[in-house]
Chain A
Amino acid sequence: MHIIIGQGAAGTAAANLLRQMAPLTPVTIITGEQDYFYSRIDLPDIIAGKYEPSASVLQQAEDFVNLGIDCRMGEMVEAISPGDKTVSLKSGKVLRYGKLLLATGSSSVLPAIPGIGAKGVYSLWTMAQARDIAAAAGTAKSVVVVGAGLIGLKTALALAARGLKVTLVEKMASIMPRQLDSEGSGLLAEKVRSCGVEIITGSAMEEIEVSDGAVKGVKVAGRTMPADMVIMALGVRPNTELAAAAGLAVGKGITVNEFQQTSDQDIFAAGDCAEAVDNLSGSQTIQATWPVAVEQGSVAAYNMAGYKTLFGGSVAMNSVEIAGIPLVSVGDVIGQPGDDIFIDRRNGTYRKIVMRGKIARGVICLGDIRQAGVIGGLVLRQMEIENVEKLVSPFFRYADLIAV
């Protein structure tokens, strides 16, 4: 039997593929989630009231049954013993596995600051949390969102759309510091502000002020802002506790080889909990994105089924639409000394390509993202480009790569 721990993008992708590749081997998913496989990108929209939670379910209970996957909801894993190849559950049951996949995902980073445990402090990573925030937003008047990454921005905009007074606090000098440079970030911040979100950058939150166990305000740079709700959006960290307790090698995340195999040859790991090779630096990183999770989950499934398959590595990449502006960011968008930077600004759009010689290192497309896949693909594959002039031209298309 194959056992998969976790029912997110990586776990579900692997389970579905395993049923196709090895139909005779039973597949069991163990997950602490109470909701069936859903799309995380919908969570801010659920808070905004744009969609019902049911609209973001990707795979229902009966879909798992039809595929022949035994999906056990609300079950927590107590421990893994690689020695006798068993997984023991909190409920006391012990399951034996042939191959095990750890797709335990990640959880929100919560700093140890005063007041973090107060009523009215939320983070957004699961459907249950989205429901809680949506319910609380019904009575709340003002909210402070801490962290201007993808989730922070989307949540801030969702709450502003519901009529709350929203303040967004970012420690770094600009919003979306991981994906954008200062110019792109500035363009985006302007749009976000016009949607009614106040942005404070370059200031870290110091304290959550509490009265009677509930949030009263947030102290930022010595100034207290009244708030009856705080959303912590400081990013996610991989859930590696189970792997570490089982004696598996853990670095930034669970250490895996190119076959998604951990230090135990019968245990695989994929998705947010596992490390991934960064094609730009060659080092191990955590790419907590949906595409990488699905790709790693698929690679793990192939190898678990006995088909040797390699994970081709990844680069930091993300796409999102914020305040009506589509944007794609791939690779190193700031550049190192000696890199060539090509910037193209035309009626409200912004495009930046970072080149090192004939190799593209990073790209930002803001506004017009139509060629982002072509340029982003070159960054991902670190391919040498014959005609750099054509690539950086505003009229570049895929056809320019194949034209002779």
Chain B
Amino acid sequence: MKRVWVDSDKCLGCKTCELQCAVERGSVSKMLVEAVKEDPKPVARVGVFGPSGSSFPLQCRHCQDAMCLKVCPAGAMQRDTEKGNIAANQDKCRGCWMCVMACPFGCITPSTEYKVALKCDACMHMEEPACVASCPTGALVYGDESSYSKVLTARRGSIAVMAASLTEGKPSGIVSIELLREDR
């Protein structure tokens, strides 16, 4: 399954993805200059939060055992059988907010104006998700597991090297993540 991957080391917390998501997926005009004047305000399906230095763009994880799918009593929350993404069908949504209550990531936003649940569907009808296309640092990557595993391998490789250098001359090979982060 293709999905949005996050390289949190590259995230500067600039929130460009939030802007682009709101414009592309939430606005009527699809243009930033017009979108900021719209009422109701376009809502982003991705949110960049966390303290500076460890900010993180978070959008729906399209969980395998998705709580939102199970709890929806309206049949609005559906998984695309081909792509595996979960999308909220706004025609069926009744605004009961069961999904908002159930999502442990807080990735579903209730639209106070339209009374429907808004969530990321990984822009499944577009070539590339808006957040990924807009990210200026490459912190967001869209692809299947193999394409991201390169990034992971590189990262794990560097952590392993650091761990080795830190434990030189010591008996234990176990190093806490905090120690590694301080070291950088």
- Which positions in A face B, CB cutoff 8 Å? 9, 13, 39-42, 45, 56, 58, 290-291, 294-295, 298, 317-321, 326, 328, 330, 369-374, 376-377, 397-400, 402-404
Contacts and interface: CB of A to CB of B under 8 A. Distances in A.
Contact of B74 (A41, A373, A404): A41
A328 B115 CA distance: 15
Contact of B177 (A295, A321, A397, A404): A404
Contact of A39 (B50, B94, B100, B102): B94
B104 A369 contact: no
A373 B94 contact: no
A372 B105 CA distance: 10
Contacts of B50: 397, 399-400, 402-403
Contact of B101 (A294, A319, A397, A399): A319
B101 A39 contact: no
Nearest to B110: A326
B125 interface: no
Given A39-B75, A397-B49, A400-B50, A319 B97 contact: yes
B51 interface: yes
Given A319-B100, A373-B104, A373-B106, A39 B70 contact: no
Interface in B49-96: 49-51, 54-56, 58, 67, 70-71, 73-75, 94-96
Nearest to A45: B94
B134 interface: no
B22 interface: no
B178 interface: yes
Contact of B70 (A56, A298, A376, A400): A298
Given A319-B98, A370-B109, A400-B50, A294 B74 contact: no
B26 interface: no
Contacts of A58: 74-75
A404 B97 contact: no
A373 B58 contact: no
B53 to A, nearest CB: 9
B78 to A, nearest CB: 12
B94 A372 contact: no
A294 B75 CA distance: 12
Interface string B89-131: 0000011111111111111111010010000000000000000
6 contacts: A58-B75, A294-B71, A326-B110, A369-B97, A400-B49, A404-B181
A290 B106 contact: no
A402 B106 CA distance: 13
Contact of B98 (A291, A298, A397, A403): A291
A328 B97 contact: yes
Contacts of B58: 397-399
Contacts of A371: 106
A13 B50 CA distance: 37
Which of the listed residues A13, A319, A374, A402 has the most CB atoms from chain B within 10 Å of its own CB? A319
Nearest to A317: B101
B105 A398 contact: yes
Given A319-B101, A374-B104, A402-B56, 9 more contacts: A291-B71, A291-B98, A326-B95, A326-B97, A326-B110, A372-B101, A373-B105, A373-B107, A397-B58
A398 B58 CA distance: 8
A374 B70 CA distance: 17
Main secondary structure of the interface of A (DSSP, over half): helix
A42 B94 CA distance: 8
A58 B72 CA distance: 11
A370 B73 contact: no
A9 B49 CA distance: 36
Contacts of B94: 39, 41-42, 45
B105 A290 contact: no
Interface in B157-177: 177
A294 B70 contact: yes
B96 A319 contact: yes
Contacts of B105: 373-374, 398
Given A399-B58, A400-B50, A404-B178, A373 B73 contact: no
Contacts of B106: 370-374, 397-398
Given A39-B73, A295-B70, A398-B106, A373 B100 contact: yes
Contacts of B73: 9, 39-41, 290
Contacts of A290: 71, 73, 98
Nearest to A56: B74
A326 B177 CA distance: 40
Contact of A369 (B47, B70, B100): B100
Which of the listed residues B96, B97, B101, B106 has the most CB atoms from chain A within 10 Å of its own CB? B101
B70 A291 contact: yes
Contacts of B67: 291
A291 B102 contact: yes
Contacts of A377: 102-104
Contact of A398 (B49, B54, B99): B49
A404 to B, nearest CB: 6
A64 B69 CA distance: 19
A404 B97 CA distance: 31
B96 A321 contact: yes
B115 A321 contact: yes
Contact of A376 (B55, B101, B107): B101
A39 B93 CA distance: 11
